[in-house]
Amino acid sequence: MFFELPKLPYKADELNPVISPLTMEFHYGKHHQAYVTNLNNLINGTEFAKMNLEEIVMKSDGAIFNNAAQVWNHTFYFHSFKHNGGGAPKGPLASAIDSEWGSFENFKKEFSNAALTVFGSGWAWLVKDKDGKLSISKESNAGTPVKNGHTAILTFDVWEHAYYLDYQNKRADYIAALWNIIDWDIVSARF
């Protein structure tokens, strides 16, 4: 299977000022594209060449896993936002968040803290286990909830390449700003 850089559901400048067009050019256009290119080169002529992306993530390790997981993670991340997003979830996801954390504000605080305290590079995730219970997890590097058997609901990318052009070393400011572009319709549908 040949993988391509997934199309964005918005124009590259529509998340500005939260994510600038320059960051989109580098993070999506160059960085994400490099993972796609590397993955295609690594799986060519291997057993993985006929698998879909999730199968590769589940069955691979080393460089193939790192690139496949980063393609999956970045696609998930970029497809969690929209122009004029933000607000709060509604419906069953909102009820589940309230049940687990007491309120959306408490969840937001804990999720933001998880993203802030990922050591080095990685991801903060809102995930659902096989019993439907929500939790927040932190993954380093290319870590992904897919590998752990969880359903991903929301992620914040806290690799420096995701925010350094816009926020320099101010990870907390980047995290706070991301809440303003979340597409809660898409995120809630994942629940």
Side-chain-side CA neighbours of residue 5 (13 Å)? 14
- Integer Cα distance of 74 and 84 in angstroms: 21
DSSP code at position 182: B
Q: Domains of the chain by range and CATH?
A: 21-78 (1.10.287.990), 91-190 (3.55.40.20)
Q: What is the dihedral angle through the alpha carbons of 66, 21, 10, 113, rounded to the nearest 10 degrees?
A: 60
- Angle, helices 104-116 vs 91-101, to 10°: value is 80
Extended beta strands in 5-68, E state: none
What is the CA angle 136-185-142, rounded to 5? 40
Residue by residue, pLDDT tens for the chain (191 residues) are 789 999 999 999 999 999 999 999 999 999 999 999 999 999 999 999 999 999 999 999 999 999 999 999 999 999 999 999 999 999 999 999 999 999 999 999 999 999 999 999 999 999 999 999 999 999 999 999 999 899 999 999 999 999 999 999 999 999 999 999 999 999 999 99
Instruction: Pull the structure tokens for residue 74.
Output: 């970045």
Residue type, 178: L
